[in-house]
Amino acid sequence: MPAIDDYLAKAQENLAGAESELQYGRTNSCAHSAYYACFHAAIAALFTRDWLPRSLPAAGGTTGSTRVLSGS
């Protein structure tokens, strides 16, 4: 599935960036890249279980907005 591959590629790119930043002692940038590596990997994992959002929160998180996930 293309979306899974896209998110895994983003995760790998961010992980490589985190490793590079760590080598130069840039811990804040390392943490930022590591966070996004995990974030994109988690989205890819959700795609593998078909737990995809059917609706997204309204802009600004207004009252009554919902996020519904499919799957079990």
Per the structure block, which two tokens stand in for 8?
């895994």
* 10 pLDDT tier (thresholds 50, 70, 90): very high
By C-alpha distance, which of 33, 12, 30 is closest to 21? 30
Q: In the prediction, which pLDDT does 49 show?
A: 87
Arithmetic mean of pLDDT over the chain: 80
Q: In the prediction, which pLDDT does 27 show?
A: 97
**Mean pLDDT calculated for residue range 32-45:** 93
Tell me the CA end-to-end span of the chain in Å, nearest whole number.
Answer: 20
- CA–CA gap between residue 54 and residue 18 (Å, rounded): 32
- CA–CA gap between residue 21 and residue 14 (Å, rounded): 10
**Mean pLDDT calculated for residue range 28-45:** 94
Q: In the prediction, which pLDDT does 61 show?
A: 44
